[in-house]
Amino acid sequence: MRQLLRAVPSTLWKRNHPTTGNTHSRLVLSSSLTTTPATTTTTPATTTCRWLSSSSDDDSNKNNNNNNNHNNNNNEKTMSAATIIPGSTGSAYGSLGDTYPQQLYNAPATAWQAERNADVQRVTQNAMIYELTQQQASTIQNVVPWFLEHMPASYFRQVPEQFRMDHIKAIASIRDANMDLYLNLKSHSHDGRVIYTFIRPGTQPGTLLSMVDELPFDEEKPLSRLHAFSALDDSMSLNMFVYGNKQFHEARPIDSPAMHDILELAAQVQAGTSSTNIAPNPIFEQDALLQYLQKCSDNYLNIISRMPTRFLQQRLLFEQVSGTEGCEVSIEDAAHEGKKHYWVDVAVANTIPQVALQHTCRLLYVQNFDVKRARLDVIDDGDNGSVTLLRLLVEQPDEAGMDTEHLCQEIKRSKWLDNTTMDLIFDTYPWLGVKRGEIITGMCSLMHSIFAKENPLVYSKGNIMEMMTHRRTIAHASKIADLFLDRFHPDETQRCSDDVALAARIQEIQTGIESDVENSVKIQLLNKMLDIVKHTYKTNVYMQNRYALGFRLDPSIMEPNPTEDKIYEEVPYGILFVHGRRFNGYHVRFRDIARGGMRLVTPATVEQYALESARQFDEAYGLAFAQQLKNKDIPEGGSKAVCLIDTNNLNLTAHSKNFVMRKSVKAFTDTVLDLVVDTEETRTNIVDYWGKKEVLYLGPDEQVIPEDINWIIQQAGRRGYATPAAFMSSKPKAGINHKEFGVTSEGVNVYLDVALRRTLGIDPTKDSFSVKLTGGPDGDVGGNEIKILIREYGECVKILGVADHSGCAEDPNGLDHAELVRLVDEVLPIANFNAKKLSEEGDLHLVDSEQGVKARNSMHNRIVADAFLPCGGRPNTIDISNYKQFLIPGTGKPSSRLIVEGANLFTTEAARKALYEDAGVVIVKDSSANKGGVITSSYEIISAMLLSEETFYANKKQIVEEVLSKLRNLAKLEAELLFREGDVYGAPLPEVSKIISNSINTATDALSAALDTLSEDDRDQLLPLFRAHLPKTIADLAFDEVEQKVPEQYIKNAIASSLASKMVYKEGTKFIDAQPKEKLASVALKYIRKEKEVALLMDSLRDVDMPDEKKQEILRLLDAGGARTALNFA
């Protein structure tokens, strides 16, 4: 009897199921089964219903006594079993159709028992047991033959016996209860894995998708396997989802039958004697295949080994995506399974298996495919991560033909589609298709950046998306997407590239908009979408394996109203916009060859994300423009990439957030490579209306980690970038890590040193002075600046306050130097400062309280110090609305008379001007103060071009010392000029800084253009300038290979920037401004010749017999103005 009762699972696991129109009762069950290969045990759990269970005679007697006493006390009547036992009244629906006698409502909880006679109770109990036993036995007799006949053979091969028995018992229980077949069973394997079994009636399209949507998400035990089955009579779907991975460490024996069959077929393939259509491949060699087999789970091998051909096919798919972030799909006819049946095999690298399954099922459902069977496995890929293998048997119910290529591409794209795009093309407008859906959502995100500055509420991303996908506008948006696709179609016969034809198409669409759309904002947005079509130079929309959608834009598109006053100070050279899954990214550059950092922005809340989204492009523009100003000493122009990543609405743990960030970095940078590399693949699939080679280099910025750097360099190599090692700076081994060597801080401190002497009359090596800084001891610029201050000035410097993301430490007597250095060395934030090291007047504020947050946010304003060093913090922290908080209350005097900007854009331009005019604050602008980082990255780029990784690493110590020496020298030259020119112009230093940068950049551009007109001999005479630009060790090792390894334009830019900065630092900006633009290049070339003549003259004077003091004075005068004076005699 107990064996039969165990057919009813002992725990209840309820989940809501989408309404299907069936109004029958449903019972959703779960059995908590701890399963071993030999036994199955049941673990009871608290439930919301009471299950029948047998009890011992002692328990029954005890209940009898209690009930007799209770019944005697209440003098209640005895009721017959026929009125108590559900279903015994003869109603077609059991007791569910009866009207209960009134006394039933007043009956005790054990009213089914006899009230006075224990014998009657025992008879009643036995009668109930007999009736239930007969009913269940009858049901099981019907269920078992049906189950064995109609479940597919693959079910019995793949599912262990104990699980099959559980399934039969659960199905029989539900059939016996006359309920719909909705079952959710939860089981546990002996090794800790969790198995969810979903059983549903029917096999209609969307059944598997609805189950996947119901699945829990377990980050610690992710989905690792799926077995999906349909009954052969289509009456039932049974799917098993396995969470967690079985650990296996022992090498498998080669002589097992499973291994033998696979190895034998592989040998036949390699020998060319196989009957399959699989081509020979090195991965099928025995040693390589055995190595791969060790990665596979026992369960996978036990199943797949029965089909060696399928195993080799999946091995090929694995190889195609191994070490990448890609997805490969194979579709073959499965006629032996039925008419219009197909096998779909998918291999997805480094994905969340549950997400990959959900996306694939969603796509198949939208395209009306019914998933008949499915299997999912995860194969370890070593250091590369993992590969999810998904195999589905699908049926296409309608009579439409099978477009295999189209379905493959749609499945590939599903990994990288944003949720907004998926909702649009899967739920709202399935007829749109993936490409059009991506184009529309991408353009909506781009328009948000363009218009948000006018009205962030009206032009929020959500509002724009809603307006463009409204039922009255979606048809017009779809036509614009079609025009975009036609304009960039790889097939010239289908391309709309003719200007006349393009104008006609645009006019036709605009006419339809004017006649059909009344809302002025919608009209404005639709017309802007047409502008985007016209102002896009190239796109990767037709790249077969793209990770995101990229646009190479004409920068003028970013002006919301081109006919009105321009918003941006200078038009960038180029803008790349990338729209991807959970991110949007901009890359802005101001010269053809440009370099700048890539930063990741991950707002913590939906509200913060909206704010950052509205200003994303402006941040990228501002940072790139600042980079252009600070790149004046190097061959590369300024650029910046800002990738805004949505990590909200996911209940993300740190691991999941990191996963999304790393995927976004890969998708963004691979899309940038789509748009800049010149390979057969890009020439075939990308139509280029720009027509010029594009060279850009990236560097790490906020939240970019070494893992990202390594992947980007490797991917650049895979994608055919000419100098992949140069594509990303700060490589862990062959790079110069900014934080490790403190390169930015070294430059900042040079400017601080000069400014203290020139502005405050302080000799920091002798006189006591005080500073405050933002950017903690664990940060790049802040931490290194703390160490450099203490290294250079010792006890002369008092660090009165430090603030970072964790809080702030303050002490009017100066924070303990040793404690600060400890935090820097251990990479700890200021919150870890030992409070015992503070004086009585000191304080440590943490951001775990509102008061602590306020103290941290106001530290840079409150503390009075000689100098303020912003070495970290968000852009625009000090702006025109709050700059007065930097002044001492009631006095109008600044809390610091000197600011040296180690962080980019910490202070707005308007705030800088106000602080100078209202309080006389001297500010060394970011584009001057923190240029040491870009100088270092530039040298890293050229070293990657000229030296192998091994050669660089062998000479790294000396190269780094030479780079630091060069950047300190360039910082000293500009700092001295900055204060000299400040005296000349009588202007605030930030304005003088821009004047210097613009002067050098203007001269560089003129010289670079002029170099194109020089003869080869003349250019060769200028090569020594390039050699002088290089660190000595790099020049000694590889200068003779410069012309073979370095792009010609890069060499010209390097010569031009070196000569331009040399002239400006020596002669001043007035000298450059006095030259007619058309003659500037010729003057510069004459200048370099005269400089050589003066150098020879100085060498000859060194041997002249005269008093040394006079000799040195003459040499000093010649060095300072000889070349400039010589020009007047030319």
What is the set of active-site residues? 640
The answer to whether the beta carbons of residues 342 and 333 sit under 8 Å apart is: yes
The answer to whether 612 touches 644, Cβ cutoff 8 Å, is: yes
User: E strands within 778-870?
Assistant: 797-804, 807-810, 843-846, 867-870
Please tell me the total number of residues recorded for the chain in this structure: 1130
Spatial CB neighbours of 621, under 8 Å, sequence gap ≥ 6: 558, 568, 572, 588
* 611 contacts: CB under 8 Å, gap ≥ 6: 603
**How many whole angstroms separate alpha carbon 631 and alpha carbon 1000?**
10
Residue 1115 DSSP label: H
Tokens 């500010």, residue located? 923
Residue type, position 688, single letter: D
Distance of CA 25 to the CA centre of its chain: 45
Closest C-alpha to 526, from 511, 541, 540:
511
**CA atoms of 301 and 293, how far apart (whole Å):** 8
> How far, in Å, are 6, 591, 971, 1003 from residue 638 at the CA level?
73, 7, 18, 16
Would you say 698 and 596 are in contact if contact means Cβ atoms under 8 Å apart? Answer: yes
Helix locations, 697-736, DSSP H: 706-718, 724-727
**Is there a contact between 636 and 941 (Cβ–Cβ < 8 Å)?**
yes
Which amino acid type is present at position 677?
V
Contacts 24+ apart (CB under 8 A), 491-495: 495/687
Asked whether the CA dihedral 98, 103, 106, 109 is positive or negative, the reply is negative
Tell me which DSSP letter residue 270 carries.
Answer: H
Give burial (CB, 10 Å; 0-12/13-18/19+) of 431: exposed
Which residue in the block uniquely carries the two structure tokens 């259509």? 277
Return left, alpha or beta for 91; rule: phi > 0 is left, psi -120 to 50 is alpha, else beta: beta
Cα dist from 1021 to 549, 766, 970, 1017, 1097, whole Å:
45, 46, 24, 6, 20
Contact yes or no for 592/631 (Cβ under 8 A): no
Tokens 């908080």, residue located: 885
Tokens of 34: 């701890």
Is-contact 928 751, C-beta < 8 A? yes
DSSP 402-422: --HHHHHHHHHHHTT--HHHH
Cα–Cα dist 584/645, whole Å = 7
CA atoms within 13 A on the CB side of 976: 10
Four-CA torsion 562, 568, 572, 575, nearest 10 degrees: -70
Q: What DSSP state is assigned to residue 424?
A: I
Q: What does the H/E/C string look like for 368-399?
A: CCEEEEEEEEEEECHHHCEEEEEEEEEECCCC
Contacts 24+ apart (CB under 8 A), 842-847: 842/809, 842/810, 842/811, 842/812, 842/813, 842/815, 843/809, 843/810, 843/811, 844/807, 844/808, 844/809, 844/810, 845/807, 845/808, 845/809, 845/810, 846/806, 846/807, 847/805, 847/806, 847/807
Residue with tokens 């295949």: 289
Q: Where are the alpha helices (DSSP H) in 275-381?
A: 286-293, 298-304, 308-321, 353-366
Angle (nearest 5°) at CA 239 between 238 and 242 = 150
